[in-house]
Amino acid sequence: MSTAGAPVMRGRIDKRQAIVDAAFTVFAREGYAKAGMDVIAAEAGVAKATVYGHFGDKETLLRGAVVASADRALADNLAAVERLTGGGDDLRETLETVGLRLLQCHCDDRSWAVRRLISAEINQFPDLLDIHARTADRIAEALADRLSRLAVAGRLHTPDPLLAAEQFLALLAGSMDRRARLGTRRVPAAELRAVAGAAVETFLRAFGPRE
Amino acid sequence: MSTAGAPVMRGRIDKRQAIVDAAFTVFAREGYAKAGMDVIAAEAGVAKATVYGHFGDKETLLRGAVVASADRALADNLAAVERLTGGGDDLRETLETVGLRLLQCHCDDRSWAVRRLISAEINQFPDLLDIHARTADRIAEALADRLSRLAVAGRLHTPDPLLAAEQFLALLAGSMDRRARLGTRRVPAAELRAVAGAAVETFLRAFGPRE
Amino acid sequence: MSTAGAPVMRGRIDKRQAIVDAAFTVFAREGYAKAGMDVIAAEAGVAKATVYGHFGDKETLLRGAVVASADRALADNLAAVERLTGGGDDLRETLETVGLRLLQCHCDDRSWAVRRLISAEINQFPDLLDIHARTADRIAEALADRLSRLAVAGRLHTPDPLLAAEQFLALLAGSMDRRARLGTRRVPAAELRAVAGAAVETFLRAFGPRE
Amino acid sequence: MSTAGAPVMRGRIDKRQAIVDAAFTVFAREGYAKAGMDVIAAEAGVAKATVYGHFGDKETLLRGAVVASADRALADNLAAVERLTGGGDDLRETLETVGLRLLQCHCDDRSWAVRRLISAEINQFPDLLDIHARTADRIAEALADRLSRLAVAGRLHTPDPLLAAEQFLALLAGSMDRRARLGTRRVPAAELRAVAGAAVETFLRAFGPRE
DNA sequence: GATGAATGAGAGTTCATTCAT
DNA sequence: TATGAATGAACTCTCATTCAT
């Protein structure tokens, strides 16, 4: 569970990270309410009181775990979106690639877990959704930016790039709740590709260049 | 302990119903783990042990509440889908009406609540998802049936009606998580109409009759 | 620990009483803060949650124990004061008897314990003192009443019976903190008699009939 | 962390003193069990481990605080008693002055606090009482000494000066528990004077020169 | 000597569940 | 069937104390 050559644990910063990771794991597995601070501490390899030393209480720990997860998710998704350059020769193929990447981000275990967590605790901790929503917004905006460029280049026809982005994402992710059973089933790569393909097909029929 | 003028409580069946309702309310408000059997019993106006008399334990009570809710949701959604007859003069208008109804079902408080509950407890009680998935599947199939008829009638072009149905639903509901903040914000009717309109627009561009 | 022929515990009322008794015992032995609800429950022969069923929290339990103790103390002290009738032949002897009884009340284990408890928690729970003070006031007033009668009968000379009562009590109890080591040492009966005698001697010199 | 202009903290001895003072303050405010070493350390402006460097554990720290307080109290009380010289013209006035001083000592905030602390922890730390009792004894003895001189000079009549001293102290302090609400109420100077006056009155009637 | 971080033991309190009436 | 009382297990959080720096 430790990083490298150090004997067991290289410093306080590592401990904090271990705690966040453990918290996320346990919250994801058991849910916020059922997750025990004992269990989280054990998973992190520290004493229970150490957890309280870093994060003041369970609620703060949850927030810490969610924020960390949102940060990682944002980076992954933006990386995917950035592959959508207008320069590619084949628009369909590019869209399919990007769509597949986005789908893979969406279907990452941790992604499912945060969404489930936030969904579960929305009444108790509405601010968790703010964190998440900000992330999702930035992804949609980034995607809209790229679609705008394509529109300007005459390769797409859409008066409202943000709407187009939203619908693209909806076509991609819309059926995943069912297919992945909310993240408890691993969706085969082939199925992901098919979904991405169908999404792109419909998207291009609606917004693509008229032949 | 009962209200005076009323026939005092018309039998055990009413009490059972009161318990299921109370359970749903409390589970929805607090989440499964945090919901207390005391609170549910109080909300239902019965003693805690009475709850245990009807449902053996908390888990069973949750299942009961979810099943009841799924039944109601199924009925509502099917009623909406059935309005999608091929006979309508204006296909776009019909689709918009149906889409709006489906959106309204999707945005019902109870609908959000079940989805959040199932999402939250998917690891502990995977079978809850089965109940829900069966419901969702039947809705999608029913919608696919209607789209098939429209395709047969030459008013839509789609080789795969089930896929079209799925994508229509995705276009409708795809952005609602964000817009409704997972059910904690009431989405104005006008916004719902706009979303339905945009979904239908894209859907028709992709599958509609080529002019 | 149960009262009579009943198998183990004759009802809920007995359990409540057992809890109050146990609470007093443990609070007296360990102090409020150090006393564990586990220990109290065990001493009472019930489960910890049962204690919480009767008294909502530790604080309320403390109050319950103190009130019960104050009630008993009041009864005992008033019984002692009531023996101070004017009809006795020998005033000195009567005063000595009553003084001794009051001293015995003062030196009862439970009396020391409440005083220590209240003293210890006066900052956290100032209202405990109110309970106790009311009790002490009633005792002093009752004593003042009796001294008044003696004054009216010409057997004592004091313009302020309440002051006389207070001073009589002060002369009796004034040195007991030291002698009884705040209740941790049992003061021999002979010593108590001596103290009572000395108190009466001084009291009579100050307020007694001038020969 | 230290105040700017001052010589930064003149050495370890000052820190030790700061810790004892802080400990007394916190123990007095919260009680021994509830007082936290964190809080004491913070109040003293040092790190928690520093407290452990000076005093090995919480118990020792308590003893240190109590001893310091007892020393100060002893000095104050002896200073008061020493004012009781036989040379004064007016015995009553002298006694009233001394009595008032003793009452003031008794009603000092710190005095109440130690008494409450010792009373609270008598079961856990009986030796605290020894410290305190020794102090009280020395005060009583000193007072008895002065009363002896007055008796020898024929200005008082008592065969047992120590008893007279005890009773004088009892008449003074006997009602203060109630009046000062165990130290949580500040008793007005006038009331103190009145109590001292009444005590001296009774004392002189019992032990004073027969006219 | 002084500190920040870490910890094991234990605190009060809650809760799903059972039982006697 | 319906209930009030009882319970054991578990929970979050605290604290006196130690250790590496």
Kindly list the residues of chain B whose beta carbon comes within 8 Å of any beta carbon in chain A. 29-34, 115-116, 118-124, 126, 129, 133, 136-137, 163, 166-167, 169-171, 173-175, 178, 181-184, 198-199, 202-203, 205-207
D148 occurs within a structural domain: yes
Question: Are residues D31 and C33 in contact, defined by beta-carbon separation less than 8 angstroms?
Answer: yes
Which chain B residue has the Cα nearest residue A35?
B33
Q: What are all long-range contacts of C197-200, with beta carbons under 8 Å and residues at least 24 apart?
A: C197/C96, C198/C171, C198/D163, C198/D167, C199/C99, C199/C168, C199/C171, C199/C172, C199/D167, C200/C92, C200/C95, C200/C96, C200/C99
Predicted pLDDT of residue C16: 94
Residues C77, C158 within the same domain = yes
Q: Is 60 exceeded by the pLDDT of residue A9?
A: no
Q: Helix (H, G, I), strand (E, B), or coil: what is residue A122?
A: coil
- Name, in order, each residue with C-beta under 8 angstroms of A126's C-beta and a sequence gap of 6 or more: B181, B184
Residue nearest to nucleotide E4 (CA to C1'): D47
Q: Mark yes or no for CB contact C173/D174 under 8 Å.
A: yes
What's the rounded Cα separation, in Å, for the pair C94 and C88? 7
Spacing of A11 CA from F20 C1' in Å? 11
Spacing of D52 CA from F16 C1' in Å? 10
Task: Output helix, strand, coil percentages for chain B, rounded to the nearest 5.
Answer: 75, 0, 25
Residue with tokens 């369970």: A58
Spacing of C19 CA from F5 C1' in Å? 14
Residues C122, C190 within the same domain = yes
Residues B141, B177 within the same domain = yes
Spacing of D59 CA from E8 C1' in Å? 20
Q: Mark yes or no for CB contact B118/A205 under 8 Å.
A: no
Tell me which chain A residues have a C-beta less than 8 angstroms from the C-beta of B206: 202-203, 205-206
For residue B34, which nucleotide's C1' is closest to its Cα?
A: E15
Predicted pLDDT of residue D85: 83
Taking residues A159-183, report their average pLDDT.
95
D201 occurs within a structural domain: yes
Predicted pLDDT of residue B120: 96
Residue C205 C-alpha, separation from nearest chain D C-alpha, in angstroms: 5
> C67-78 burial, b for 16+ CB within 10 Å, e for fewer?
bbbbebbbebbe
Which residue did the predictor score with more confidence, A86 or D158? D158
Q: What are all long-range contacts of B49-57, with beta carbons under 8 Å and residues at least 24 apart?
A: B50/B15, B50/B19, B51/B19, B51/B23, B54/B15, B54/B16, B54/B19, B55/B19
Residues B23, B89 within the same domain = no
- Residue A23 tokens read as 């918290």
Kindly list the residues of chain A whose beta carbon comes within 8 Å of any beta carbon in chain B. 29-34, 115-116, 118-124, 126, 129, 133, 136-137, 163, 166-167, 169-171, 173-175, 178, 181-184, 198-199, 202-203, 205-207
Predicted pLDDT of residue C1: 38
Q: What is the pLDDT of residues A111-133, one digit of tens each?
A: 999 999 999 999 999 999 999 99
Predicted pLDDT of residue B209: 84
Cα B185 to chain centroid, rounded = 17
Predicted pLDDT of residue D189: 96
Q: Which nucleotides of F are covered by protein (CB under 7 A)?
A: 1-20
Q: What single-letter amino acid sits at A131?
A: I
Helix (H), strand (E), coil (C) string for chain C: CCCCCCCCCCCHHHHHHHHHHHHHHHHHHHCCCCCCHHHHHHHHCCCHHHHHHHCCCHHHHHHHHHHHHHHHHHHHHHHHHHCCCCCCCCHHHHHHHHHHHHHHHHCCHHHHHHHHHHHHHCCCCHHHHHHHHHHHHHHHHHHHHHHHHHHHCCCCCCCCHHHHHHHHHHHHHCCHHHHCHHHCCCCCHHHHHHHHHHHHHHHHHHHCCCC
Hey, what's the torsion of the CAs at A160, A165, A166, A167, to 10 degrees? 90
What percent of chain D lies above the pLDDT cut of 90? 86
Angle of helix C12-30 versus helix C58-82 axis, rounded to 10:
90
Of the candidates B34, B119, B126, which has its C-beta nearest A116's C-beta? B119
Of the candidates C163, C175, C184, which has its C-beta nearest D122's C-beta? C184
Instruction: Tell which residue, C101, C102, C99, C125, has the closest CA to residue C114.
Output: C125
Residues C40, C73 within the same domain = no
Which chain B residue has the Cα nearest residue A181?
B129
Question: Are residues D103 and D192 in contact, defined by beta-carbon separation less than 8 angstroms?
Answer: yes
D61 occurs within a structural domain: no
Residues D46, D113 within the same domain = no
Question: Are residues A140 and A162 in contact, defined by beta-carbon separation less than 8 angstroms?
Answer: yes
Q: Is 70 exceeded by the pLDDT of residue D6?
A: no
Tell me which chain A residues have a C-beta less than 8 angstroms from the C-beta of B166: 174-175
Residues B41, B132 within the same domain = no
Q: Is 70 exceeded by the pLDDT of residue A7?
A: no
B26 occurs within a structural domain: yes
- Name, in order, each residue with C-beta under 8 angstroms of A20's C-beta and a sequence gap of 6 or more: A61, A64, A65, A68
CA atoms B178, A163, B210, B89: torsion sign: positive
Of the candidates D33, D163, D166, which has its C-beta nearest C34's C-beta? D33
Residue nearest to nucleotide F11 (CA to C1'): A36
Q: Mark yes or no for CB contact B181/A133 under 8 Å.
A: yes
Q: Taking the CB of residue B23, how many other CB atoms lie within 10 A of it? A: 27
Residues C144, C124 within the same domain = yes
Q: Say which CATH number the domain at C36 has.
A: 1.10.10.60
Instruction: Tell which residue, A141, A74, A147, has the closest CA to residue A105.
Output: A74
What's the rounded Cα separation, in Å, for the pair C64 and C70? 10
Spacing of C28 CA from F11 C1' in Å? 29
Q: Is 80 exceeded by the pLDDT of residue A168?
A: yes
Of the candidates A32, A129, A170, which has its C-beta nearest B175's C-beta? A170
Question: Are residues D73 and D110 in contact, defined by beta-carbon separation less than 8 angstroms?
Answer: yes
C44 occurs within a structural domain: yes
C122 occurs within a structural domain: yes
Q: What is the pLDDT of residues D37-81, one digit of tens each?
A: 999 999 999 999 999 999 999 999 999 999 999 999 999 999 999
Predicted pLDDT of residue A211: 57
Helix (H), strand (E), coil (C) string for chain D: CCCCCCCCCCCHHHHHHHHHHHHHHHHHHHCCCCCCHHHHHHHHCCCHHHHHHHCCCHHHHHHHHHHHHHHHHHHHHHHHHHCCCCCCCCHHHHHHHHHHHHHHHHCCHHHHHHHHHHHHHCCCCHHHHHHHHHHHHHHHHHHHHHHHHHHHCCCCCCCCHHHHHHHHHHHHHCCHHHHCHHHCCCCCHHHHHHHHHHHHHHHHHHHCCCC
Which chain D residue has the Cα nearest residue C170?
D174
For residue B49, which nucleotide's C1' is closest to its Cα?
A: F3
Which chain A residue has the Cα nearest residue B183?
A122
Predicted pLDDT of residue D203: 96
Q: Helix (H, G, I), strand (E, B), or coil: what is residue B6?
A: coil
Instruction: Note down the domain range covering B101.
Output: 67-207
Spacing of D60 CA from E1 C1' in Å? 19
Predicted pLDDT of residue C209: 84
Per-residue pLDDT of chain B (211 residues; tens, 9 = 90+): 444 334 444 566 788 999 999 999 999 999 999 999 999 999 999 999 999 999 999 999 999 999 999 999 999 999 999 998 876 678 999 999 999 999 999 999 999 999 999 999 999 999 999 999 999 999 999 999 999 999 999 999 999 999 999 999 999 999 999 999 999 999 999 999 999 999 999 999 999 887 5
Residue C31: which region, alpha, beta or left (left: phi > 0; alpha: psi -120 to 50)? left
Q: Mark yes or no for CB contact C119/D115 under 8 Å.
A: yes
Residue with tokens 């199932």: B118
For residue C11, which nucleotide's C1' is closest to its Cα?
A: F5
Residues A86, A144 within the same domain = yes
Question: Are residues B55 and B24 in contact, defined by beta-carbon separation less than 8 angstroms?
Answer: no
Residue C2 C-alpha, separation from nearest chain D C-alpha, in angstroms: 28
Please report all neighbours of A, defined by 3+ CB atom pairs within 8 A. B
- Residue A190 tokens read as 């082939």
Task: Output helix, strand, coil percentages for chain A, rounded to the nearest 5.
Answer: 75, 0, 25
Spacing of A49 CA from E6 C1' in Å? 8
Of the candidates D33, D174, D203, which has its C-beta nearest C174's C-beta? D174
Q: Mark yes or no for CB contact A119/B115 under 8 Å.
A: yes
Q: Which nucleotides of E are covered by protein (CB under 7 A)?
A: 1-20
Domain count, chain D: 2
Residue A33 C-alpha, separation from nearest chain B C-alpha, in angstroms: 6
Taking residues D182-196, report their average pLDDT.
97
Q: Mark yes or no for CB contact D174/C182 under 8 Å.
A: no
Of the candidates A33, A199, A205, which has its C-beta nearest B31's C-beta? A33
Q: Taking the CB of residue A48, how many other CB atoms lie within 10 A of it? A: 15
Residues D47, D81 within the same domain = no
Q: Is 70 exceeded by the pLDDT of residue D100?
A: yes
Question: Are residues C106 and C132 in contact, defined by beta-carbon separation less than 8 angstroms?
Answer: no
Predicted pLDDT of residue C29: 95
Tell me which chain C residues have a C-beta less than 8 angstroms from the C-beta of D120: 31, 116, 119-121
D162 occurs within a structural domain: yes
For residue A19, which nucleotide's C1' is closest to its Cα?
A: E6
Predicted pLDDT of residue A14: 87
Across all residues in chain A, what is the average pLDDT? 91
Residue B201 C-alpha, separation from nearest chain A C-alpha, in angstroms: 9
Give the pLDDT means over successive 10-residue stretches in chain C (211 positions).
42 86 96 97 96 96 95 94 83 95 96 96 95 94 95 92 96 95 96 97 91 58
Q: Mark yes or no for CB contact A129/B184 under 8 Å.
A: yes
- Residue D129 tokens read as 């009482």
Residues B79, B169 within the same domain = yes
Residue C89 C-alpha, separation from nearest chain D C-alpha, in angstroms: 23
Residues C36, C69 within the same domain = no
Residue nearest to nucleotide F7 (CA to C1'): C47
Q: What is the pLDDT of residues A146-167, one digit of tens each?
A: 999 999 999 999 999 999 999 9
Of the candidates A116, A181, A205, which has its C-beta nearest B120's C-beta? A116
B18 occurs within a structural domain: yes
Tell me which chain C residues have a C-beta less than 8 angstroms from the C-beta of D133: 178, 181
Residue C16 C-alpha, separation from nearest chain D C-alpha, in angstroms: 26
Burial class (CB in 10 A: 0-12, 13-18, 19+), A187: middle
Instruction: Give the lowest-confidence range in A137-141, C84-88, C168-172, D13-17.
Output: C84-88
Residue B51 C-alpha, separation from nearest chain A C-alpha, in angstroms: 22
Q: Say which CATH number the domain at B97 has.
A: 1.10.357.10
